Amino acid sequence: ELKSKELDVIAISLKDRLQDYGIISVVVFKTDSLHNALNICNWVMSCRVFSRRIEFLVMEQLTNIALKRGLNALQLQYIPSGKNSLLADVLAELGFRRKGEQDYFAFELAEPISLPKHFIKLRNDCNG
Query: At 54, which helix (H) or strand (E)?
Result: helix 54-68
Inform me whether the pLDDT recorded for 7 exceeds 70.
Answer: yes
Q: What is the pLDDT of residue 120?
A: 58
Residue pair 49/57 in contact (Cβ under 8 Å)? The answer is: no
Min mean pLDDT across 81-85, 104-108, 117-121 is at 117-121
The domains of the chain, with CATH numbers, are 7-108 (3.40.630.30)
CA 62 – CA 94 distance, rounded (Å): 12
Contact 35, 60 (CB under 8 A): no
Residue type for 59, please? M
CA-based nearest residue to 59, from 104, 83, 93: 93
Query: 16-20, 37-41, 111-115: which has the minimum mean pLDDT?
Result: 111-115
Alpha carbon distances (Å) from 8 to 27, 32, 52, 54: 8, 12, 24, 19
Express each pLDDT in 35-88 by its tens digit: 999 999 999 988 877 777 888 888 888 999 999 999 999 999 998 888 888 888
Residue type at 53? R
Per-residue confidence (pLDDT) for residue 40, from 0 to 100: 97
Sheet with 7-15: strands ordered across: 7-15, 20-32, 37-45, 73-77, 104-108, 97-98
pTM of the model: 0.82
Point out the least confidently predicted range of 13-17, 86-90, 115-119.
115-119
Residue 118 is predicted with a pLDDT of 55
